[in-house]
Amino acid sequence: MAERLPDAEVLENDISPIQPSWVPPKVFFEVDDFNGPWLQTPNSYDFIHECDCHAAVKDWGKLAENVFKTLKPGGQRESQEHTVEITTDDDSVPEDNILKQCCAAYFGPKDPVDKEIGAFNLINMVNAAEDFTTTA
């Protein structure tokens, strides 16, 4: 985001103090638990992006309330949650199931760019597996 919008200030909130050694100018980090009280000023953010929070969110309603309180009027929230392959013990999910088709894009894309995105997604999921299975 900071590279696309060089005039923007970007604040990353993470529960762990692990940040990259180099970041673009105007990128700041804050170690905090978004499940607790929010200290951000109401109506102060243009955009809030959350990603891979599904294992950490204790109360989705409270998170949404805090996000919308913190956004400026007209601000936007984006939530991205990744999934894994859709399967059942008895193979009862039909091949034309839309969720199954979407998940297949991560595991066997034919397009080289999609294949590279899938490889990075796999690395992300493997690196986060412990957190996803031990949180909340």
pLDDT per residue over 26-84, tens digit each? 888 888 888 999 989 999 999 998 887 877 888 989 999 999 999 999 999 998 877 66
Handedness of CA 125, 131, 133, 136 (dihedral sign): negative
Residues 6+ apart with CB under 8 A from 88: none
Go through the chain and tell me how many residues it has.
136
Contact 81, 50 (CB under 8 A): no
Mean of per-residue pLDDT scores for the chain: 81
